[in-house]
């Protein structure tokens, strides 16, 4: 996979994942697909596009760094990209402008630590102690350090919903300027990898697809897996949507069909998703 800089004016910082494979298919030579949106899904999108290129000779797919769900949908409706990936369905205003969403998979939201950390699981009580500052160290003596996400992020909303008392704790902790607040999924992952003793939230799909040096902790004795999502034993999840414009191209429609195909579903399962088929 070759990396180059996308020169489109909508995103000067777009990193291009060039997925074109040599094949004698003149009718499709030079096809280009521009994708952007929520950071937690971008690693999986690159893998899906890589697999799609194997059955779509001549394809070049450009994947933007994290635009966020709102930024991705805005870029889509403005004509800057061909397909947006979002961690939420379109809002009323976005739907009125023509955005249409297709859910393709769900992944666990996990409490994550560096692979250097010996911890393998946490309970509700332990998480509240760590986040509130009542528990200062990991069992090996390393100080516990929080990496937070903004209030409006899906990860924050989910842990508030599923960890009783977390809303009050986060309200108290956000006044502490010494605690870093990561504004993108990739920024959060990098802090969790590099800060000794760090703990925060991440999508399992990001950890797996980007091969992050992070460990997803079991929560209340349940490992965060697609199977645990399916049977309801693991409660914290994030769903992803592919969002299209009012008149998606044939290429976009073909990619959506590929994501729902056995090959696409296999990529999703390998990257920590419970795929949505049909």
Q: Which CATH number do you get for residue 191?
A: 3.40.190.10
Residue 235 within a domain: no
* Residues 51 and 117 reside in one and the same domain: no
What tens digit of pLDDT does each residue of 208-218 get?
A: 999 999 999 99
Lowest mean pLDDT, pick from 21-35, 54-68, 200-214, 219-233: 21-35
Reply yes or no on whether the pLDDT at 236 is more than 80. yes
* Residues 145 and 207 reside in one and the same domain: yes
- Domains in the chain, number: 2
Per-residue H/E/C for the chain = CEEEECCCCCCCCCEEEECCCCCCCHHHCCCEEEEEECHHHHHHHHHHHHHHHHHCCCCEEEECCCCHHHHHHHHHHCCCCCEEEECCCCCHHHHHCCCEEEEEEEEEEEEEEECCCCCCEECHHHHHHHHHCCCCECCCCCECEECECCCCCHHHHHHHHHCCCHHHHHHHHCCCCCCCECCCHHHHHHHHHHCCCEEEEEEHHHHHHCCCCEEECEECCECCCHHHHHCCCCCCEEEEEEEECCCCCHHHHHHHHHHHCHHHHHHHHHCCCEECCC
Residue 14 within a domain: yes
* Residues 116 and 24 reside in one and the same domain: no
Reply yes or no on whether the pLDDT at 187 is more than 70. yes
* Residues 145 and 31 reside in one and the same domain: no
- Domain enclosing residue 138, as ranges: 107-230
**pLDDT mean over 240-247:** 96
* Residues 30 and 65 reside in one and the same domain: yes
Q: What is the mean pLDDT of the chain?
A: 89
* Residues 9 and 77 reside in one and the same domain: yes
């Amino acid at each position: 996979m070759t990396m180059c800089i996308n020169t489109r004016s909508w995103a000067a910082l777009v990193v291009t994942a060039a997925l074109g494979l040599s094949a004698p298919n003149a009718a499709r030579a030079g096809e280009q697909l521009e994708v952007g949106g929520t950071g937690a899904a971008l690693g999986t999108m690159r893998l899906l596009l890589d697999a799609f290129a194997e059955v779509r000779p001549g394809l070049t797919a450009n994947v933007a760094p994290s635009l966020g769900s709102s930024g991705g949908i805005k870029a889509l409706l403005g004509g800057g990209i061909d397909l947006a990936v979002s961690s939420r369905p379109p809002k009323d205003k976005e739907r009125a402008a023509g955005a249409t969403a297709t859910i393709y998979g769900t992944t666990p939201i996990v409490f994550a630590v560096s692979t250097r950390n010996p911890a393998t699981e946490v309970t509700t009580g332990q998480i509240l102690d760590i986040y509130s500052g009542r528990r200062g160290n990991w069992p090996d003596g390393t100080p516990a350090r929080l990496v937070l996400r903004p209030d409006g992020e899906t990860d924050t909303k989910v842990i508030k919903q599923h960890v009783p008392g977390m809303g009050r704790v986060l309200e108290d902790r956000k006044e502490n300027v010494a605690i870093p607040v990561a504004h993108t999924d990739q920024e959060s992952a990098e802090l969790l990898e590099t800060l000794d003793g760090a703990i925060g939230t991440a999508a399992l799909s990001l950890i797996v697809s980007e091969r992050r040096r992070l460990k997803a902790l079991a929560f209340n004795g349940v490992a965060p897996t697609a199977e645990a999502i399916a049977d309801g034993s693991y409660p914290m999840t994030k769903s992803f949507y592919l969002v299209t414009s009012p008149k998606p191209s044939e290429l976009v429609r073909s990619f959506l069909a590929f994501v729902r195909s056995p090959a696409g579903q296999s990529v999703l399962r390998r990257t920590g998703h419970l795929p949505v088929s049909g």
